[in-house]
Homo-oligomer: A and B are copies of this chain.
Amino acid sequence: MILEVAILDVKPSQEAAFERDFATASAYISGVAGYLSHELQRCVEKKSRYILLVHWETLEAHTEGFRKSPQYSEWKKLLHHYYDPFPSVEHYSPVYEEKG
C-alpha cells in the first residue's frame, strides 16, 4: 500500500470554492483502478493550507494509472487553478502503525 501526500496551498479567499470543487472532483479519482481511499483535511494553523492523503494499492496505480487517465484531466481542470504555489507530491510506504 502506498500513501500519496500533497500539501495544498489554496489561493486566499478561494477556500470554500476549492472545497466544493474537491467534492466534485473526488468522483474522478475514486473510480480509478488501484484506488483505495482519500481524504482532504484543512490546516488549523494556516487556513488556506490543506493536506491531501490518498491510499493506493501500488505506486503505479497513481503515477501511471491515474495520471495518464482521462479522469485526471477532469481532476486537473477542476482543482489545479486553486494552488499557489503548485504542490509537490510525495509517496510513502508504511513502517509502523498503532491504534489506541
Q: Which residues of A contact B (CB under 8 A)?
A: 2-3, 5, 19, 22-23, 26, 30, 35-46, 49-51, 53, 59, 90-100
Shortest A58–chain B CB gap in Å is 11
- A2: chain B residues within 8 A (beta carbon): 44
Q: Tell me which of A23, A26, A100 has the highest count of chain B C-beta atoms within 10 A of its own C-beta.
A: A100
Q: Which B residues lie within 8 Å of A98 (CB)?
A: 26, 30, 37-39
**Is B99 touching A41 in the complex (CB atoms < 8 A)?**
no
Query: Given that A5-B51, A22-B95, A90-B49 are known contacts, is A100 also in contact with B35, CB under 8 Å in the complex?
Result: yes
Task: Known A-B contacts: A22-B95, A42-B93, A44-B91. Give 9 more (CB < 8 A).
Answer: A30-B98, A36-B100, A39-B98, A41-B95, A42-B92, A42-B95, A43-B90, A44-B93, A53-B53
Taken together as a complex, chains A and B put the C-alpha atoms of A91 and B41 apart, in Å, by 9
